[in-house]
Amino acid sequence: MNTTKLLAIAALPALFFALPARAENPDHVQQLLETNACYACDLSGADLSVTHLIGADLRNANLENAILVDANLEGADLAGANLQGAELDGAFLTNANFENANLDDVDLTNATMYHANVDGASMQDVNLTNAQVFGTNISVGGN
Query: Domain limits of the chain?
Result: 18-137
Q: Considering the domain 18-137 in this protein, what is its CATH number? A: 2.160.20.80
Confidence class for position 24, pLDDT limits 50, 70, 90: confident
3 state DSSP class of 130: coil
On the question of pLDDT at 22 being above 80, the answer is no
Q: What is the pLDDT at residue 126?
A: 96
What is the per-residue pLDDT for 23? 63
pLDDT reading at 143 higher than 80: no
pTM score, whole prediction: 0.81
Distances (CA, A) of 109 to 48, 62, 70, 112, 118: 16, 21, 10, 9, 17
The answer, yes or no, to whether residue 11 has pLDDT greater than 50, is: no
With a cut of 70, say whether residue 14 has pLDDT above it.
Answer: no
The answer to whether residue 132 scores a pLDDT higher than 80 is: yes
| Backbone Cα Rg of the chain | 18
